[in-house]
A and B are shown apart, each in its own frame.
Chain A
């Protein structure tokens, strides 16, 4: 301090106006004012809440979560019945959200990449069709798409009793959902699982070895085919040697509905497909922009080095394009996850439908339920954007 004072010249007595005019103090003054105003606002809001709750005779607390929920949920990934507590209903909802968001991200990426590449097709018809798809999807609210998809599934497909049984019972489309065979695990399936995991590890080891070998000798092995062989062959052979421990359970019409097999509800399908297609349109544009951003010189240079087109794509274009594509892609994932809260419009029981919907309604705990729901989405968002930041840092151009 004394050093600084000496450097600044003779110390002047402190004046109040320095708080505003002196750069050294101004920022601190302003920050204190900011904090004060902010705290004032917050305390004002909190006092209002307390006062309002008192007036209405409401209490704040999360004990309602342990009361029985007394409603049923159709799609549940964990054990749940109407006597289960509200917190369990919330967990069921959270899992349902995660399922539709996860599968939605995967499907949206597949469709989006396909459409984005197809939009750059030299075939006029394909390119235009993809443009129409993208524009139609992007310019209509996703809620409308979800509602339309739900209507398509419930109005355009046959009821279970008239439903066509396709692929020998392997696939039954009905207006309540789709039935597909469910795997049945018998004795010995654990061994099969262990073998499969071992194959994956083996494939990894092989790939590393092949890469090292290529670096050493320059020889290129047909890595993809050999990897596939390592992954599939042992499992395939063992499957028969062990006497087919994994079977399929086919759906069968019994009473009102099909029984057995996996039942994918139409509410899920509507939400999943609508979200995926809607998000895919945005992803397609990101992909197109990413590919177009890579200058032609890159591929020309790769060709002149003698790389075949597939390797040009894999080794030169994609790594560069991905750096441009992935950040917006992840924010699209984030949007998809948030948009999955529109499940409420088609009766898919996600977390907004259970905790933020029925539980909120039946208990009248708006504040607590919405806090929990928002907290959940916030955590998901922060996790995803955290992952994005890590990725961004890892691929950012090392500028020299």
Chain B
């Protein structure tokens, strides 16, 4: 039923209109048709994608309707290929993880993963991706409803999100934990000294639940100041409207880095929760989940093996390490085909923005304004937790 007719699989690198294949009538009980809309991306993608609608839209006056939509389907890969781009949900703005540059392009640790996925799917075109900013509140609905194909929005993997909300999490791309940031002048050295404090916490996140649990477990009181976004939290914290700001430790470092005087603030040693952050997709499409999983693992493997964006092509040609050969598609194992992709999928993903370490260094690392140490996110060989399952 989820046909993806009307696809022109090739990327021609020019803007052109595409005639879509003749329509088909779905077999479902309710009469639906596939209306086809031509989609363009600046540059080089084209295609049609099926869209089910809509006696309703007629009732609404079809004339004014500006629809671009996708079908939440079992074969997400086919849909994504058909429409010619990957729709990726990111945060509305979080230093280091997702932000827009002056030209309005989304940048950051999370968008970089989407670009790598896009490159893996679209033969190296890392721009074949569109970003949907989501809030803590809208992110899961956006994914569940098919508005986005993958959600890369520093989201904590939890039991209920996996099982109850029916998502499939990819591998963890950032091991985090919830911490507290306070002013040094406050004289607090441990989170256990925070009884009675006013604490800024983002709503709609796991952090506010952890916070409640932690204070309850330690028999302390606190005054929560719920806020919607990181920018507001920062404003409130800097104005001293809360004594402490709690969020994932990465977020704390990122936020602190942007302060005028970062050294006046300290992050308390207690990490009160485990926050494995990872990208996620809808449950029920194993192929799609596999693509997400192995794209990320390929990036980590690349770091393990020293494959970078710069040397990937050369490594593919010259490396004799069978691991690297398999990773970069130098052998004819057909791993790409098993995923429904081409043989260079991992090579393209790596070339899009570099391996895991490069991406980390570019957006979060100690050389950036955010300035986060690798810590738990170092490779297992360096004492971290990044340990990619082998590609073989």
Q: Do chains A and B touch in the complex (CB under 8 A)?
A: yes
- Contact check: which of B165, B204, B222, B240 meets A159 at CB < 8 Å? B240
Known contacts A57-B166, A358-B204; is-contact A70 B213 (Cβ 8 Å): yes
Cβ contact within 8 Å between B224 and A176: no
Note all chain A residues with C-beta closer than 8 A to B225. Answer: 74, 176, 267, 347
- Contact check: which of A159, A259, A266, A345 meets B228 at CB < 8 Å? A345
Known contacts A256-B197, A347-B228; is-contact A82 B213 (Cβ 8 Å): yes
0/1 interface trace, chain B 35-76, chain A, CB 8 Å (1 if under): 000000000000000000000000000000000000000000
Note all chain B residues with C-beta closer than 8 A to A362. Answer: 204, 209
Q: What CA separation (Å) do A256 and B200 show in the bound complex?
A: 14
Q: For the complex formed, measure the closest distance between the CB of A266 and the CB atoms of chain B, giving whole angstroms.
A: 7
Q: For the complex formed, measure the closest distance between the CB of A353 and the CB atoms of chain B, giving whole angstroms.
A: 7
A-B contact count (CB 8 A): 91
0/1 interface trace, chain A 121-151, chain B, CB 8 Å (1 if under): 0000000000000000000000000000001
0/1 interface trace, chain A 329-370, chain B, CB 8 Å (1 if under): 000000000000000110101000100011011101010000
Known contacts A82-B213, A257-B198, A344-B228; is-contact A357 B235 (Cβ 8 Å): no
Q: For the complex formed, measure the closest distance between the CB of B256 and the CB atoms of chain A, giving whole angstroms.
A: 18
Residue of chain B at shortest CB distance from A70: B209
Q: For the complex formed, measure the closest distance between the CB of A258 and the CB atoms of chain B, giving whole angstroms.
A: 10
0/1 interface trace, chain B 288-330, chain A, CB 8 Å (1 if under): 0000000000000000000000000000000000000000000
Cβ contact within 8 Å between A358 and B164: no
Q: What CA separation (Å) do A155 and B232 show in the bound complex?
A: 11
Q: For the complex formed, measure the closest distance between the CB of B146 and the CB atoms of chain A, giving whole angstroms.
A: 11
Note all chain A residues with C-beta closer than 8 A to B211. Answer: 72
0/1 interface trace, chain B 165-199, chain A, CB 8 Å (1 if under): 11000000000000000000010000000111110
Cβ contact within 8 Å between A155 and B239: yes
Interface size on A, residues (CB 8 A): 36
Note all chain B residues with C-beta closer than 8 A to A349. Answer: 226
Cβ contact within 8 Å between A154 and B236: yes
Q: B-side binding surface: helix, strand, loop or mixed?
A: mixed
0/1 interface trace, chain B 223-243, chain A, CB 8 Å (1 if under): 111111000000110011111
Q: For the complex formed, measure the closest distance between the CB of B153 and the CB atoms of chain A, giving whole angstroms.
A: 14
Note all chain B residues with C-beta closer than 8 A to A358. Answer: 203-204, 208, 226
Which residues of A54-86 have CB atoms within 8 Å of chain B's CB atoms? Answer: 56-57, 70-74, 81-83
Query: Apart from A154-B236, A362-B204, what are 20 other A-B pairs with CB-CB below 8 Å?
Result: A70-B209, A70-B212, A70-B213, A71-B208, A72-B211, A72-B212, A73-B224, A74-B224, A154-B241, A155-B235, A176-B225, A256-B197, A256-B198, A257-B197, A347-B225, A357-B137, A358-B203, A358-B204, A364-B140, A364-B165
Interface residues of A (CB under 8 A from B): 56-57, 70-74, 81-83, 151, 153-155, 159, 175-176, 254-257, 259, 266-267, 344-345, 347, 349, 353, 357-358, 360-362, 364, 366
